[in-house]
């Protein structure tokens, strides 16, 4: 999702960053902090803005370590292993973070004053399973849900669903009268199902804990089978249309703007970054309702997946690093950085960003049904690509529902084994090598 | 008219059927219309009842609210527990979800004191301002949708909350349950809507997806504008109605009825199929029953006709089958074939089954397409010529003579095909009779062949007698003539030797003529058999070279033998006969190739049929006089010789090629000839031989020779050597000139890796083999054995070659066995330092031997005695087998060295005598060599001799070379006895 979600832009600023990174040690009082992140992440305008603000305001220089996206995880892991860990480390709160041994390397930020300024969903995202605040979320926030063509539904005298039964009824009614209810880009799009899986684990943390200890599998969780069954049924009933197996990321925009489908599962900022209104419908024609895939009756929204600034607890410049985060979390600084950026608030004091009207209109429903991103970030061994692969096999008729769930389990357990997660067997090729 | 009558019943039946269908359609259309009307009436009735029930429910709720109002008004303390209890009782009874006290400012409170607000919209004005009870929808915090029934109340206070109205709410899901009906297979949907289409309630399970059903209908139904206008007008005027329209692809009945309160309408949407499902079921059953009745009546009417027709048809078919069967049986016992074709399309109506037996064509195949007979036709490609058939007038006939070949057996048969063109039941047919003429034809052919054979035999006999007369008389004339001259010039030794030489030559020619005639006679009488034994191919080729090279050399011809590939050296076969075949071909080639000509003899291996066999091709190619095309056809016939100025000068019986052909046939092979006059001939013989078990020569090579160098300017020979020796485990390097051989040998020496053997071609361009050997010896030394590979007689260079350092010679073509024979002594010399025993028969092998000769013919015995004496050997003669047995039995051990046994003798023949000798108690009975010496020289004679216990066979007249060779072989293990002499 992230690869497509945010386009790299402002190469000029990247050049500026590079110049900054190559400059010599500071003559000022403060230490030179090292900030490590993906090149494309650090090229975001609000990131370059906050870094520039810091350097200008404090006179301290920052040593920016920007790795190419593809090699970021392995390069960063190597630096941590070699004792070259940065003072400030940028990373999403997902399964890949497990590589970096949070207990040993990252400072818990629970007592920082800016924590109270975080929105509930942003704070929930940044907390680990023990409630420790892992980092400062400094990123575009979004709400993922079921975005539907309000204009079409209004023209049909129909209204958005509030329950799973209504959603199914809506899909069937639309199908009966010749509409494709859902744009389901099965070819390479890997995020659709993680929204529906969030409530299974967010609403029952014990279930997540047992899954992550390898005490249970997806197959032991009826809701997972329900979700897979719903997807199979929906495809069978024609709710995804006929050509969904060949639709990928690039087709979502054209399909939705042309009215080729009435609904899709996406996030609000997509309408600002990737949706080209070159068809009959513009983003103003769309509205938001929860995602329904038979995992929770009232549906669900997924909160944003946020890049966090984390502090190296072993850093020689720990205090300066905490000061740097405090600087970033100051309203006057983040409001300047996010000025004009389309994002849902991460900070309660955020005022200069553009709030999506769709999100604003659905705020009551979002408040009632939003979950923090759980499946993708908290399930050990979760790989969106693996789940997509299993579901693709299902939709191609190569396996049945039980087989699909079994594949999801096998992929997850293997991946967890590769990561060396406790309780999971190492894959055969690794264990053989000692 | 006749045809019309024939089809009249069918026409009548079709008319009746059509009438029934039309009546049925009209009837069912009428029934359908009535059913639909009844069904919609049923729909209206059901939902009328639902609407009335809903109206009563609404009325009752307002009644409930009125009673509450009265109760509250009477209550002394409006915040007292009594009101709470009263409401709780009502809630239990009515099942509403909540009770509300409403204030004129829009706020509300539940009996438990929970305050909130309620937005009743326009209905609020009705309730507060116009003091009318209302029913409206409401979405509660949390998304739950309810329907609220509210009524004005006397102002009051409850728990300090001032209220002006009171209300009860029902969840829409509960309320919708009251609108549901069991009819229409659960496919009916029911809505309570405002007259603008907005939905208050829906019976859809789990909620509703419709906000405004009028909008939905406008978007998806096929109703036209007028229909919508009418329906909306009805809704606004609170008028009931029923419309039909399609929603998507499905036809629906939409029934609307005013609820009777405010602008609410009860809207029922039911698929048309569900509306009349029950009636349709009845209708379908009715249709089914009627159809069955009609079918039964029709069947009863038609059945007798069909039965009668079928019976008549069955009888016709049976009669036809009987006839066909009878005809099949009759035709199966004769060799004539019968066919009946439809004249219009030539389809087969009948074909006698004996076609399979007689021509090998399956009946079904012929029935499908009569053209399959063309595959059998020998002399008439178009079996049934359409044009010619068409030319046969009706009731006329025509015949052709045809020859067919059986598809499976290839047997030829002759037929007279007679075609009759006639009309059978107004259909024109061709009846074809193929009358078998095979017996007559074969008889005629046999008579012709017999006549030809008789003429040919007569001619052959004449030719034979003529040839024999000439061929026998010629040498006989020489023998008689020179014998006379010999007597006359007995005193002149020079002339005696000259005459004797000529008499000997003529005798040999006469002998070969007699041998050939006898051979041919034996072969033709089928009495020839093969004596299969293991023999060496290299030895055979060597012997051929020994015999034929001098002849070729005498005519200054080049005779080269090539072996292509690596055929096995040891094979099982009749070496004598193979020798005979190849000598015939090669001697003919020499004979019919002018001086200085070129003869190539090539032996090559062909793919064999099985692993235990080897197939060899022997090719004899010359550039001699060649043969005409006509003569090639008779070259293998007896006494055939091409007549030309050249051949007339060449002696021959004309039997050689016939014998060769017969021997090749006997050995299961093939012989072919290609030739052009003046350009030469190529004879090719292909024969298969059984492979014997391996002799272990590979091990010998593997143990002694690791590396060897071969030099020959013909790369193919180098490759052959490498293949042959490579199979034996030897690493063979090769070069194609002498200088390179020297270089390679020196390089190997300098590396300390001398070759174990070096094999050099004699004649190579540049540095030849002898020169190369000399250079190698100079630079490498004496340790490496060097052999020369040559297809020439090396006697002329032997001395020079040995001086140059060459150790031995290997004849071409290269064989592992001949190579081993040559190399073995060298390795023995190396290991035993000049102690190698000499092999092969020594000169004068017969000297000092004593032979027991059993020969009944006095003259032959005398000749043999003289010949043996000339070799320094002695003999004792027995005149029959009995005497020979006795003489041997009475002899001292070691007295005789060998017994030469004639076969055909009086008293006791040679076989019996041999058996008795072998069985007698003499100490040497089993070991004394016994050799048949007989004029019986065929293979079975040799085998009979060996079977009787003899050790060898010599043909008469006695060839002393052969005697010496055989005696040398049999006696070389025992030294000659001392003082042997003739007696």
Instruction: Answer for the pair B498, B449: CB distance below 8 angstroms, yes or no.
Output: no
pLDDT, position B935: 73
pLDDT, position B938: 66
Rounded CA separation B437/B167 (Å): 119
Instruction: Answer for the pair B794, B809: CB distance below 8 angstroms, yes or no.
Output: yes
DSSP symbols for A154-179: HHTTB---SSHHHHHHHHHHHHHTT-
Rounded CA separation A309/A410 (Å): 33
Please tell me the class of the B334-436 domain: alpha beta
Nearest CB among A156, A159, A162 relative to B220 is that of A156
Label residue A286 by pLDDT band (50, 70, 90).
Answer: very high
Label residue A24 by pLDDT band (50, 70, 90).
Answer: very low
Instruction: Answer for the pair B584, B540: CB distance below 8 angstroms, yes or no.
Output: no
Q: How far is CA B641 from the centre of its chain?
A: 47
What CATH number has the domain spanning B697-832?
Answer: 3.40.50.2300
Rounded CA separation B449/B441 (Å): 12
The DSSP secondary-structure symbol of A283 reads: G
The total number of residues written for chain A in this structure: 434
- Do residue B247 and residue A158 have CB atoms under 8 angstroms apart? no
Nearest CB among B211, B218, B249 relative to A159 is that of B211
Instruction: Answer for the pair B646, B625: CB distance below 8 angstroms, yes or no.
Output: yes
Task: Find chain A residues with C-beta within 8 A of B208's C-beta.
Answer: 159, 166, 169
Task: Find chain A residues with C-beta within 8 A of B216's C-beta.
Answer: 156-158
Interface test with A, best of B144, B199, B209 (most A CBs within 10 A): B209
Task: Find chain A residues with C-beta within 8 A of B250's C-beta.
Answer: 176
What does the pLDDT average to over A247-271?
Answer: 91
- Do residue A154 and residue B219 have CB atoms under 8 angstroms apart? no
What does the pLDDT average to over A189-205?
Answer: 88
pLDDT, position A282: 92
Rounded CA separation B248/B241 (Å): 21
Interface test with B, best of A151, A155, A158 (most B CBs within 10 A): A158
Strand-strand pairing, A370-371 and A136-137: unpaired
Q: How many helices (H) and strands (E) does chain A have?
A: 22, 11
Instruction: Answer for the pair B983, B851: CB distance below 8 angstroms, yes or no.
Output: no
Rounded CA separation A412/A32 (Å): 41
Q: Scan for tokens 């389990």, then name that residue.
A: A409
B244: CB partners within 8 A, 6+ apart: B251, B252, B253, B254, B272
The DSSP secondary-structure symbol of B979 reads: T
Spell out which chain A residues touch chain B, with contact meaning CB-CB distance below 8 angstroms: 153-159, 161-166, 168-170, 173, 176-178, 298, 365, 368
Q: Which fold has domain B459-521?
A: Helix Hairpins (1.10.287)
Q: Nearest residue on chain A to B141, judged by CA atoms? A: A364
Q: Where in chain B is the domain with CATH 3.30.565.10?
A: 531-690
Nearest CB among A158, A161, A178 relative to B248 is that of A178
- Do residue B207 and residue A298 have CB atoms under 8 angstroms apart? no
Residue-wise pLDDT tens digits, B823-882:
877 776 666 544 434 444 444 778 888 999 998 887 788 888 888 888 888 899 999 999
pLDDT, position A14: 38
pTM of the model: 0.50
Rounded CA separation B672/B655 (Å): 17
- Do residue B205 and residue A157 have CB atoms under 8 angstroms apart? no
- Do residue B197 and residue A157 have CB atoms under 8 angstroms apart? yes
**Is any Cβ of chain A less than 8 angstroms from the Cβ of B294?**
no
Residue B562, phi then psi, degrees to nearest 5 = -120, 140
Q: Which two tokens stand for residue A122?
A: 């942003």
* Nearest residue to A131 via CA among A99, A101, A109: A109
Q: Where in chain B is the domain with CATH 1.10.287.130?
A: 459-521
* Nearest residue to A256 via CA among A192, A191, A190, A180: A180
Q: Where in chain B is the domain with CATH 3.40.50.2300?
A: 697-832, 850-971
Q: What is the dihedral of CA B363, B366, B372, B376, to 10 degrees?
A: 40
Coil/strand/helix, residue B422:
strand
Residue B592, phi then psi, degrees to nearest 5 = -100, 15
Q: Which helix (H) or strand (E) holds B982?
A: none
What does the pLDDT average to over A315-331?
Answer: 94
Rounded CA separation B63/B322 (Å): 98
The DSSP secondary-structure symbol of A243 reads: S
CA distance B198 to chain A (A): 8
Rounded CA separation B313/B768 (Å): 100
pLDDT, position A10: 34
Task: Find chain A residues with C-beta within 8 A of B248's C-beta.
Answer: 176-178
- Do residue A159 and residue B216 have CB atoms under 8 angstroms apart? no
Nearest CB among B143, B209, B215 relative to A155 is that of B215
Higher pLDDT, B858 or A47: A47
B389: CB partners within 8 A, 6+ apart: B343, B346, B419, B421, B430
Q: How far is CA B483 from the centre of its chain?
A: 71
* Nearest residue to B112 via CA among B94, B93, B99: B99
The DSSP secondary-structure symbol of A92 reads: E
CA distance B374 to chain A (A): 55
Rounded CA separation B899/B970 (Å): 11
What CATH number has the domain spanning B531-690?
Answer: 3.30.565.10
Rounded CA separation A395/A392 (Å): 5
**Is any Cβ of chain A less than 8 angstroms from the Cβ of B507?**
no
**Does the domain made of B850-971 have the CATH classification 3.40.640.10?**
no
Q: Give how far Cα B526 sits from Cα of A366, B449, B522, B897, Å.
A: 112, 22, 6, 38
CA distance A174 to chain B (A): 9
B831: CB partners within 8 A, 6+ apart: none
Rounded CA separation A62/A85 (Å): 15
pLDDT, position A6: 36
Maximum alpha-carbon separation in chain B: 191
Coil/strand/helix, residue A263:
strand
Q: Which helix (H) or strand (E) holds B438?
A: helix B438-488
What CATH number has the domain spanning A2-141+306-348?
Answer: 3.40.190.10
Q: Give how far Cα A62 sits from Cα of A78, A91, B34, Å.
A: 21, 18, 89
Q: How far is CA A404 from the centre of its chain?
A: 24
Q: Which two tokens stand for residue B581?
A: 């075949």
Rounded CA separation A16/A10 (Å): 10
- Do residue B207 and residue A177 have CB atoms under 8 angstroms apart? no
Rounded CA separation A44/A37 (Å): 11
Residues of chain B with pLDDT under 50: 645, 833-843, 973, 975, 977-983
pLDDT, position B295: 82
pLDDT, position B248: 80
Residue-wise pLDDT tens digits, B924-938:
898 899 999 887 766
Coil/strand/helix, residue B257:
strand
Rounded CA separation B623/B158 (Å): 141
pLDDT at A307 over 80: yes
CA angle at B460 for the pair B457 and B465, rounded to the nearest 5°: 125
- Do residue A157 and residue B215 have CB atoms under 8 angstroms apart? yes
Instruction: Answer for the pair B631, B720: CB distance below 8 angstroms, yes or no.
Output: no
Q: Which two tokens stand for residue B254?
A: 């939409």
The sign of the torsion formed by the CA atoms of B859, B864, B869, B870 equals positive
pLDDT, position A68: 92
Q: Where in chain B is the domain with CATH 3.30.450.20?
A: 179-275, 334-436
Residue-wise pLDDT tens digits, B104-116:
888 888 888 888 8
Look up the ipTM and state it.
0.73
CA distance B206 to chain A (A): 5
Task: Kindly report whether the peptide bond that precedes residue B813 is cis, defined as omega within 30 degrees of 0.
Answer: yes
What CATH number has the domain spanning A144-302+371-428?
Answer: 3.40.190.10
Higher pLDDT, B450 or A169: A169
Nearest CB among B142, B143, B210 relative to A157 is that of B210
Rounded CA separation B654/B659 (Å): 9
Q: What is the CA radius of gyration of chain A?
A: 22
Rounded CA separation B887/B762 (Å): 56
Q: Which two tokens stand for residue B695?
A: 């002799």
* Nearest residue to B253 via CA among B231, B284, B229, B281: B231
Other residues' Cβ atoms within 10 Å of the Cβ of residue A39: 19
The DSSP secondary-structure symbol of B362 reads: -
Label residue A16 by pLDDT band (50, 70, 90).
Answer: very low
- Do residue A177 and residue B219 have CB atoms under 8 angstroms apart? yes
Q: How far is CA A142 from the centre of its chain?
A: 9
Rounded CA separation A28/A51 (Å): 16
Instruction: Answer for the pair B509, B651: CB distance below 8 angstroms, yes or no.
Output: yes
Nearest CB among B143, B197, B206 relative to A165 is that of B206
Rounded CA separation B711/B744 (Å): 10
Q: What is the dihedral of CA B461, B463, B467, B468, to 10 degrees?
A: 10
The sign of the torsion formed by the CA atoms of B383, B384, B387, B389 equals positive
The DSSP secondary-structure symbol of B930 reads: E
Instruction: Answer for the pair B563, B724: CB distance below 8 angstroms, yes or no.
Output: no
CA distance A434 to chain B (A): 48
pLDDT at A146 over 60: yes
Q: Give how far Cα A281 sits from Cα of A150, A253, A277, Å.
A: 10, 10, 6
CATH number assigned to the domain with residue range B20-170, chosen from the 4 options 3.10.450, 1.20.120, 3.30.450, 2.60.120: 3.30.450
- Domain ranges for chain A, please list them: 2-141+306-348, 144-302+371-428
* Nearest residue to A89 via CA among A321, A407, A270: A321
**Is any Cβ of chain A less than 8 angstroms from the Cβ of B140?**
no
Task: Find chain B residues with C-beta within 8 A of A162's C-beta.
Answer: 143, 207
CATH number assigned to the domain with residue range B179-275, chosen from the 4 options 3.40.50.2300, 3.40.50.1980, 3.30.9.10, 3.30.450.20: 3.30.450.20
CB pairs under 8 A between A and B: 64
Q: Nearest residue on chain A to B210, judged by CA atoms? A: A158
DSSP symbols for B103-149: -TTSEEE-TT--EEE---TTHHIIIIIS---EEEEEE-TTS-EEEEE
Task: Find chain B residues with C-beta within 8 A of A363's C-beta.
Answer: none
- Do residue A165 and residue B142 have CB atoms under 8 angstroms apart? no
């Amino acid at each position: 999702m992230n690869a497509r979600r945010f386009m790299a832009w402002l190469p000029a600023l990247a050049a500026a960053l590079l110049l900054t990174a190559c400059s010599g040690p500071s003559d000022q009082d403060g230490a030179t902090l090292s900030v490590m992140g993906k090149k494309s992440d650090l090229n975001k305008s609000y990131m370059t803005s906050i870094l520039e603000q810091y350097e200008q305001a404090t006179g301290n220089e920052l040593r920016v370590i920007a790795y190419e996206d593809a090699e970021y995880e392995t390069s960063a892991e190597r630096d941590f292993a070699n004792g070259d860990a940065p003072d400030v480390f940028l990373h999403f709160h997902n399964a890949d973070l497990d590589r970096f041994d949070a207990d040993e390397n990252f400072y818990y930020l629970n007592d920082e004053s800016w924590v109270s300024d975080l929105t509930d969903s942003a704070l929930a995202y940044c907390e680990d399973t023990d409630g420790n605040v892992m980092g400062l979320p400094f990123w575009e926030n979004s709400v993922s849900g079921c975005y539907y063509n309000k204009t079409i539904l209004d023209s049909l005298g129909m209204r958005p669903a509030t329950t799973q039964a209504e959603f199914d009824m809506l899909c069937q009614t639309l199908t009966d009268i010749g509409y494709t209810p859902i744009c389901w880009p099965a070819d390479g799009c890997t995020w659709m199902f993680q929204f529906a899986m969030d409530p299974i684990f967010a609403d029952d943390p014990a279930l997540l804990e047992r899954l992550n200890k390898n005490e249970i599998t997806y197959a032991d969780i009826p809701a997972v089978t329900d979700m897979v069954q719903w997807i199979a049924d929906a495809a069978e009933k024609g709710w995804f249309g006929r050509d969904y197996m060949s639709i990928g990321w690039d087709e979502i925009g054209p399909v939705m703007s042309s009215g080729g489908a009435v609904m899709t599962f996406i996030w609000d900022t997509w309408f600002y970054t990737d949706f080209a209104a070159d068809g009959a419908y513009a983003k103003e024609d769309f509205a938001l309702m929860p995602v329904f895939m038979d995992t929770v009756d009232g549906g669900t929204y997924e909160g944003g997946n946020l890049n966090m600034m984390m502090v190296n607890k072993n850093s020689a410049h720990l205090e300066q690093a905490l000061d740097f985060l405090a600087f970033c979390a100051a309203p006057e600084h983040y409001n300047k950085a996010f000025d004009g950026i389309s994002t849902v608030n991460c900070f309660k004091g955020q005022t200069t960003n553009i709030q999506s009207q769709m999100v604003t209109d659905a705020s009551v429903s979002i408040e009632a049904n939003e979950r923090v991103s759980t499946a993708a970030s908290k399930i050990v061994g979760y790989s969106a690509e693996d789940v997509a692969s299993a579901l693709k096999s299902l939709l191609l008729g190569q396996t049945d529902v039980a087989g699909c769930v079994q594949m999801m389990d096998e992929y997850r357990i293997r991946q967890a084994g590769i990561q060396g997660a406790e309780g999971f067997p190492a894959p055969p090729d690794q264990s053989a090598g000692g | 008219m006749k045809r019309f009558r024939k089809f009249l019943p069918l026409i009548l039946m079709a008319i009746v059927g059509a009438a029934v269908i039309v009546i049925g359609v009209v009837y069912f259309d009428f029934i359908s219309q009535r059913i639909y009307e009844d069904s919609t009436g049923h729909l209206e009735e059901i939902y009328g009842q639902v609407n009335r029930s809903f109206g009563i429910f609404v009325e009752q709720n307002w009644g409930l609210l009125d009673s509450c109002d009265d109760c509250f008004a009477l209550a002394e303390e409006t915040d007292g527990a009594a009101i709470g209890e009263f409401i709780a009782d009502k809630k239990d009874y009515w099942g509403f979800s909540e009770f509300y006290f409403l204030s004129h400012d829009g706020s509300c409170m539940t009996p438990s004191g929970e305050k909130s607000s309620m937005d009743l919209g326009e209905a609020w004005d009705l309730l507060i301002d116009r003091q009318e009870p209302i029913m409206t929808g409401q979405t509660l915090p949390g998304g739950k949708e309810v329907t609220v029934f509210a009524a004005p109340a006397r102002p009051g206070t409850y728990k300090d909350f001032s209220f002006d109205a009171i209300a009860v709410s029902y969840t829409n899901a509960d309320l919708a349950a009251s609108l549901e009906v069991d009819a229409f297979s659960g496919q009916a949907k029911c809505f309570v809507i405002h007259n603008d289409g907005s939905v208050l309630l829906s019976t859809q399970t789990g909620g509703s997806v419709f906000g405004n059903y009028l909008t939905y209908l406008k978007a998806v139904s096929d109703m036209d504008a007028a229909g919508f206008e009418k329906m909306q007008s009805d809704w606004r005027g609170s008028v009931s109605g029923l419309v039909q329209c399609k929603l998507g692809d499905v036809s629906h009945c939409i029934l609307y009825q005013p609820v009777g309160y405010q602008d609410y309408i009860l809207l029922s949407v039911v698929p048309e199929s569900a509306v009349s499902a029950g009636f349709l079921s009845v209708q379908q059953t009715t249709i089914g029953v009627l159809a069955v009745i009609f079918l039964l009546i029709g069947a009863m009417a038609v059945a007798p006709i069909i039965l009668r027709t079928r019976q008549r048809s069955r009888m016709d078919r049976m009669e036809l089958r009987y006839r066909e069967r009878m005809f099949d049986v009759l035709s199966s016992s004769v060799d004539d074939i019968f066919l009946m074709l439809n004249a219009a399309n030539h389809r087969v109506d009948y074909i006698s089954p004996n076609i399979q037996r007689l021509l090998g064509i399956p009946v079904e195949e012929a029935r499908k397409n009569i053209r399959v007979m063309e595959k059998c036709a020998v002399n008439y490609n178009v079996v049934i010529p359409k044009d010619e058939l068409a030319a046969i007038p009706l009731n006329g006939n025509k015949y052709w003579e045809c020859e067919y070949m059986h598809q499976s057996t290839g047997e030829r048969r002759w037929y007279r095909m007679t075609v009759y063109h006639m009309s059978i039941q107004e259909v024109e047919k061709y009846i074809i009779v193929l009358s078998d003429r095979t017996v007559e034809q074969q008889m005629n052919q046999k008579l012709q062949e017999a006549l030809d054979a008789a003429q040919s035999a007569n001619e052959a006999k004449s030719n034979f007698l003529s040839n024999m007369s000439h061929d026998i008389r010629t040498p006989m004339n020489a023998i008689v003539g020179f014998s006379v001259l010999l007597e006359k010039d007995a005193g002149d030794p020079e002339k005696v030797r000259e005459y004797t030489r000529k008499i000997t030559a003529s005798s040999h020619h006469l002998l070969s003529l007699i041998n050939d005639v006898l051979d041919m006679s034996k072969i033709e009488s089928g009495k020839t058999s093969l004596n299969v034994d293991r023999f060496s191919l290299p030895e055979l080729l060597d012997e051929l070279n020994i015999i034929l090279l001098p002849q070729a050399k005498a005519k200054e011809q080049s005779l080269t033998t090539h072996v292509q590939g690596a055929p096995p050296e040891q094979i099982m076969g009749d070496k004598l006969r193979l020798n005979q075949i190849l000598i015939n071909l090669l001697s003919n080639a020499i004979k019919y190739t002018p001086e200085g000509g070129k003869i190539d003899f090539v032996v090559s291996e062909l793919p064999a049929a099985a692993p235990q066999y080897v197939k060899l091709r022997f090719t004899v190619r010359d550039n001699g006089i060649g043969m005409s095309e006509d003569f090639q056809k008779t070259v293998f016939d007896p006494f055939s010789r091409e007549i030309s100025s050249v051949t007339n000068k060449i002696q021959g019986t004309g039997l050689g090629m016939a014998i060769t052909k017969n021997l090749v046939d006997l050995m299961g092979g093939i012989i072919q000839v290609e030739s052009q006059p003046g350009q030469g001939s190529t004879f090719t013989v292909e024969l298969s031989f059984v492979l014997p078990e391996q002799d272990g020569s590979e091990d010998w090579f593997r143990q002694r020779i690791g590396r060897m160098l071969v030099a020959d300017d013909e790369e193919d020979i180098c490759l052959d050597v490498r293949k042959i020796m490579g199979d034996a485990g030897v690493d063979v390097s090769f070069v194609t000139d002498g200088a390179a051989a020297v270089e390679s040998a020196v390089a190997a020496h300098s590396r300390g890796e001398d070759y174990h053997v070096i094999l050099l071609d004699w004649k190579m361009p540049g540095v030849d083999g002898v020169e190369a050997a000399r250079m190698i010896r100079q630079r490498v030394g004496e340790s490496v054995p060097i052999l020369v590979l040559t297809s020439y007689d090396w006697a002329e260079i032997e001395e020079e070659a040995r001086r140059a350092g060459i150790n031995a010679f290997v004849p071409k073509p290269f064989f592992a066995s001949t190579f081993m024979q040559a190399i073995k002594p060298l390795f023995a010399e190396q290991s035993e330092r000049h102690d190698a025993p000499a092999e092969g028969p020594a000169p004068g092998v017969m000297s000092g031997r004593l032979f027991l000769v059993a020969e009944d013919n006095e003259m032959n015995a005398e000749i043999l005695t003289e010949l043996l004496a000339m070799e320094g050997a002695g003999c004792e003669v027995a005149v029959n087998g009995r005497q020979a047995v006795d003489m041997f039995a009475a002899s001292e051990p070691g007295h005789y060295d060998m017994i030469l046994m004639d076969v055909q003798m009086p008293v006791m023949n040679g076989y019996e005598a041999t058996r008795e000798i072998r069985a007698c108690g003499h100490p040497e009975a089993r070991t004394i060599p016994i050799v048949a010496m007989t004029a019986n020289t065929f293979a079975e004679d040799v085998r009979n001799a060996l079977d009787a216990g003899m050790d060898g066979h010599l043909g008469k007249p006695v060839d002393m070379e052969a005697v010496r060779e055989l005696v040398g072989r049999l006696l070389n293990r025992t030294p000659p006895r001392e003082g042997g002499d003739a007696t």
